[in-house]
Structure 1
Amino acid sequence: MGQFNEAAEAFRQALRLDENAPDTQYSYGLTLNKLGRHDEEILAYKRAIGLKPDHANALEKLGQAYFRQKRWAEAANAFEGLRTYRPDAKTYNALGECYLELDRPEDALLAFNNALGYDPNLDQARFNLGRAYLRSGNKEMAQVQYEILRNSRSDWADRLLVLLNQ
């Protein structure tokens, strides 16, 4: 942890010289994450985004930080913003997970289908799509997702099978 404390101090020094440097704010947030200082981490990412609204990496890390804190709506907002700058499978999968936690299965279905549209081999998104189908009461479509995962020999297949059998 010593090196991360030193890094945090170095970033604080750099920010005293120029607090309007979005990449420094972002890097400071990464360091704060390593130190377990998550509320400060969030503030650093928010400052980076405030300085550079299209800072995709800061938006992603902000969403992840909110997600870890179970602040689902704020995480969803961050990932919704990220869609504008980085519309990819990973972004849509994260957004869908937020929607599931917010008990918005229809929005989750759309997000996971978008994720699979970008990367049909993203097994985690397929697993999550199965979860969303189960949450919306469509066990038959969840079973289809399980079969796809099983046929691709994915580790996610067993996880979905457990949910299907509950």
Structure 2
Amino acid sequence: MNRSFTRLMTRYSRQDVLRILQISSRQLLGWERAGLIPAAEQYGFPELSQLRILRNLQHLRISPRSIRNSVQAMQAVSGISNPLLEAAVVRTGARLAFRYSGTMVDPIRRQLLFDFESANELASGRRSVTVSMLPAARISGSRDPELQRLFLDAVQQEERGRKQAAQEIYGRILAIDPVYTAALINLGTLHYHQKHYDRAEELYRRATESDTSYVLAFFDLGNVLDELERPDESILAYRRAIFLAPGYADAHYNLALAYERKGERRRALTHWQTYVRLDKSGPWADHARGQIRKLLNREKLTIAHRSASFHPQPRRSASLLELVPSRPLSA
């Protein structure tokens, strides 16, 4: 999300979360007990996003146990720490598959799946057909078990709040494998949060070059370019993310903000409208609806102003000629 809005709304109490997501306290406790979300009294946007995904999966009658098994399997084979946020979730029968790094993976069976669904849908339940077996090391970007171990160690260091240690480990990984995409993204994000925007941009760009179908890399690149106040470039990055995943709601949100800052209100309106179709509840959906109302009202006022200022000339008879005094030519 864009920095100007998230700074105003960064923490949510348990009651806020229950109200925003329209879930019960029992549901939240159940997800906590299943280890799908850490127990907390306050939540940030990442936790809110994760809870929204869990709510959607519950509506599709996917049990917490099945979700946990799929998440743990994906962590084991891919090296990503939080598959619910770092990959797109797809329902395949009673289990989950994940779209990640340009492929769809069934982590429990360790299989690549042929994806009949468009990349903009969450868990439509349409059938997927297995096309090949996938070695576990392939998903994380490296076949080297030592690099996978290092990557998991770096993620654990981040989770414990040891950012410097994580940063050093990601650096070691990239010294060995400069195109280890997940390490490029995670290291870029550490620099982003430290406001080292130039370094973050460099790492995100390397990630987009090492994997041209990695949606998150383009989204993160758009965010850092926005921080660097390079709107045209940030728009291109967001548009690329949307091209790869048309249902990436946050990319539509940030692209709408970018267009608004450039005064391109009609383009902004299109992406605000897309966002609220993808994310129907919560504070960002409310904000998007407010922007839609403002833009539509402004458009109505513009049309009304043009209409009031338009005074059609009376028709003239074609049989009459009018003498118009000539203007003297300038010397």
TM-score range, shorter chain: 0.7 to 0.9
Q: Does 1:81 align with 2:216?
A: no
Question: What is the CA-CA distance between 1:78 and the residue it aligns to?
Answer: 1.1
Matched, 1:158 2:286: yes
1:100 aligned residue: 226
Q: Deviations over 1:75-94 (max 9, x none)?
A: 21111010122222221111
How many residue pairs were aligned? Answer: 146
**What is the Cα-based RMSD across aligned positions, in Å?**
2.2
Q: 1 CA distance for matches of 2:193 and 2:280?
A: 25
- 2:236 is matched with 110
Q: Which has the larger radius of gyration?
A: 2
Corresponding position: 1:132 with 2:254 = no
- In structure 2, stretches of 5+ residues that fail to align are 1-145, 295-331
Out of 33, 43, 46, which is 2:171 matched to?
A: 46
Instruction: State the Cα deviation string for residues 16-55 of structure 1 (Å, max 9, x = none).
Output: xxxxx43333222112112211122111101100111121
- For residues 76 and 160 of structure 1, do their structure 2 counterparts lie closer, same or farther at Cα, with a shift above 3 Å needed? farther
Task: Note if contact 2:256-2:269 (Cα within 8 Å) is conserved in structure 1.
Answer: yes
Alignment deviations for residues 114-149 of structure 1 (CA, whole Å, 9 cap, x no partner):
001001111111001111112222222111211222
Between Structure 1 and Structure 2, the one with more strand by share is 2
Q: What is the aligned-residue identity percentage?
A: 23
More helix by share: 1
Moved over 6 A (4+): none
User: Structure 1 length normalisation: TM-score?
Assistant: 0.77
Deviation at 1:157, TM superposition (A): 3.6
**Which residue of the other structure, out of 216, 230, 242, is the alignment partner of 1:90?**
216
Which residue of structure 2 aligns with residue 141 of structure 1? 267
Query: In the alignment, what sits opposite 1:7?
Result: none
Structure 1: give runs of 5+ residues left out of the alignment: 1-20
Which residue of the partner structure matches residue 196 of structure 2? 71
How far, CA to CA, are the matches of 2:280 and 2:230 in structure 1? 26
Q: Distance in 1 between matches of 2:183 and 2:250?
A: 23
Q: Relative to structure 1, is the Cα distance of residues 28 and 151 closer, same or farther in structure 2, using a 3 angstrom cutoff?
A: closer
> Matched residues in 2 for 1:26 and 1:89: separation?
20
Tell me the TM-score normalized by structure 2: 0.41
Match of 1:55 in 2: 180
Q: Distance in 1 between matches of 2:285 and 2:228?
A: 24
CA distance in structure 2 between the partners assigned to 1:163 and 1:82 by the alignment: 33
For the residues of structure 2 that align with 1:71 and 1:40, how far apart are their CA atoms? 17
SS of residue matched to 2:246: coil
